[in-house]
Structure 1
Amino acid sequence: MTPLMIAVLALSMVGTAFLSGLFGMAGGLVLIGVLLALMPLPTAMVLHAITQIASNGWRAFLWRSHISWRPVAVYVSGCLLTLAVWSIARYVPDKPVALLLLGATPLMARLTPRNLKPNPDSLLQGLFYGSTCMGLMLMTGVSGPLMHVFFLGGKFDRRSVVATKAACQVASHFMKLIYFGGIISQAATLDVRLAVVGVAASVLGTTLARRLLEAMSDHQFRTWANRLITTVAGYYVLYGAWLLLLPRLQIR
């Protein structure tokens, strides 16, 4: 990696960590795209996992008094179930299918009847969302939009949403690191300089976002978070559909 490329990655990591620090999501979605464009998939997934563990871990520490630990424990249990199954199957879907799933799931969650709306305090829903989000994590590297829909469905304030999500993300990204760094591929190599830069940039971006999150109201947080989810989910649906149709258009 050249110094210029490391500098570009560092700026990208600061910016995406700031975005995640503000809304508890979206930064990882942007970062994984940048990493996949610059390096092989196993290496990209490993570096992404390390930066997201640092970003979410620091965010969870900053807002630790607002973490709701019961939903975290249930959610992580669901993640472990999926990791166990995928470690046996080692299924890797096509990129268009993964993108369509990533974009469609949060949109589908919004269309469910009111009495079935996501509830982070529900044991069954926590296991279901933990398992489903972990599946998305292993298919696409991220699961932020669907996870955010789940936690926005509760009665948490903005700090509790960000803090509890961050704690869940630390665990799920650690499982992704194990999956791509050991179970799926033993060939993932990572420049130590990149790992150090990634951790430092993630901590910096997360810290910079704290003051702005404090200044926002819960209404502003939910409004802009929902708009962000819709935008990101819509982009992935369109991008996945385009990749799915592209080979057929080229044949014609």
Structure 2
Amino acid sequence: MDLVPLLPAELDAATLALVSAASFCTSFVTAAFGIGGGVAMLAILASLLPPAALIPVHGLVQFASNAGRAAMLLGHVQRGPLAPFLVGSALGAAAGGSVAVALPPAAVEIGIGLFVLWAALFAPPRAMRAGAGPAGFVSTLLSMFFGATGPFVAAYVKTLALGRMEHVATHAAMMTAQHLLKVIAFGFLGFAFGPWLAPIALMAAAGFLGTLVGKRALMRSNDALFKRALTALLCLLAARLIWSGAAGLL
């Protein structure tokens, strides 16, 4: 079947294959190591998609990826913090949406580059650990601008002192809710998801396969070595985004 008629004008078949492969790999990363895939996927998409589509498309792909991971680990999800996190996330999506869509493309690239660099090198602030409600509000507010705030949410989930399976499952459930609210907000703000549904579906399917493989690899991975390599890759991608955005402002 020829996919070209189903693709938006800004996306060709070769780029679709590349972002689908990236979805598989980054979903594997998150399933195997608990964090990092969403930020990596954001950085990759930012290099390949038009800025206006970046955050909405990334949000819907990440919603599907996190929903699949949460469903696989549903019995391990800790439900207590979910309700206040959901309320905070709804307020954060409402507060950030109308401002996010007005940002110029070059500023989006620079902002995402700085965020990716920060997420790769530094720990989230202590304020993010105050509770599920504040964590939901702040992370979703920032997610409307920068797309991937998994490290913020993971900082809060870590304070719950959960086991590994419970941590990954609860984090996935929270990120599912956050990305869903963000997608709804961008829909109300006028983003046309229709032309992007076919590539999003392919990226989501690739991400689900990556999650399956990552779950299998969870117990056999060398965390220390992989995290160093991931940090280096994210820093390189962040530098490229910042350079590209700065060039666009000049």
Same fold by TM-score, threshold 0.5 exceeded? yes
Runs of 4+ more than 4 Å apart = 87-93, 101-106, 240-247
Offset of residue 170 of structure 1: 0.8
Report the CA distance shift for 1:98/1:203 in structure 2 as closer, same or farther (over 3 A). closer
Partner of 2:135: 129
Return the letter of the residue paired with 1:235. C
Partner of 1:167: 173
Offset of residue 142 of structure 1: 0.8
Aligned to 1:235, what secondary structure does the other structure show? helix
Report the CA distance shift for 1:159/1:68 in structure 2 as closer, same or farther (over 3 A). same
Q: Is the contact made by 1:15 and 1:205 (CA closer than 8 Å) also made in structure 2?
A: yes
Is 1:5 the counterpart of 2:10? The answer is no
Correspondence 1:81-92 to 2 at 5 A = 81-87=91-97, 89=99
Partner of 1:144: 150
Structure 1 portions without partners, runs of 5+:
119-123
Offset of residue 73 of structure 1: 1.7
Q: Is the contact made by 1:43 and 1:189 (CA closer than 8 Å) also made in structure 2?
A: no
Return the letter of the residue paired with 2:142. L
Report the CA distance shift for 1:186/1:212 in structure 2 as closer, same or farther (over 3 A). closer
Alignment size in residue pairs: 234
Q: Is the contact made by 1:59 and 1:206 (CA closer than 8 Å) also made in structure 2?
A: yes
C-alpha distance in 2 between matches for 1:38 and 1:233: 16
Offset of residue 163 of structure 1: 0.4
Which of 174-183 and 64-73 deviates more? 174-183
Offset of residue 134 of structure 1: 0.6
Report the CA distance shift for 1:45/1:109 in structure 2 as closer, same or farther (over 3 A). closer
Partner of 1:79: 89
Return the letter of the residue paired with 1:25. I
Report the CA distance shift for 1:232/1:28 in structure 2 as closer, same or farther (over 3 A). farther
Is 1:69 the counterpart of 2:79? The answer is yes
Structure-2-length-normalised TM-score = 0.76
Aligned to 2:81, what secondary structure does the other structure show? helix
Is 1:153 the counterpart of 2:188? The answer is no
Partner of 2:69: 59
Offset of residue 242 of structure 1: 5.7
Report the CA distance shift for 1:205/1:231 in structure 2 as closer, same or farther (over 3 A). same
Offset of residue 150 of structure 1: 1.9
Q: Is the contact made by 1:103 and 1:233 (CA closer than 8 Å) also made in structure 2?
A: no
Partner of 1:121: none
Return the letter of the residue paired with 1:200. A
C-alpha distance in 2 between matches for 1:182 and 1:109: 30
C-alpha distance in 1 between matches for 2:128 and 2:141: 21
Partner of 1:190: 195
Correspondence 1:37-52 to 2 at 5 A = 37-52=47-62
C-alpha distance in 2 between matches for 1:233 and 1:149: 22
**How many percent of aligned residue pairs carry the same amino acid?**
22
C-alpha distance in 1 between matches for 2:241 and 2:21: 30
Structure 2 portions without partners, runs of 5+:
1-10
C-alpha distance in 1 between matches for 2:48 and 2:244: 23
Offset of residue 109 of structure 1: 3.7
Return the letter of the residue paired with 2:28. F
Partner of 1:199: 204
Structure-1-length-normalised TM-score = 0.75
Return the letter of the residue paired with 1:28. G
Partner of 1:177: 183
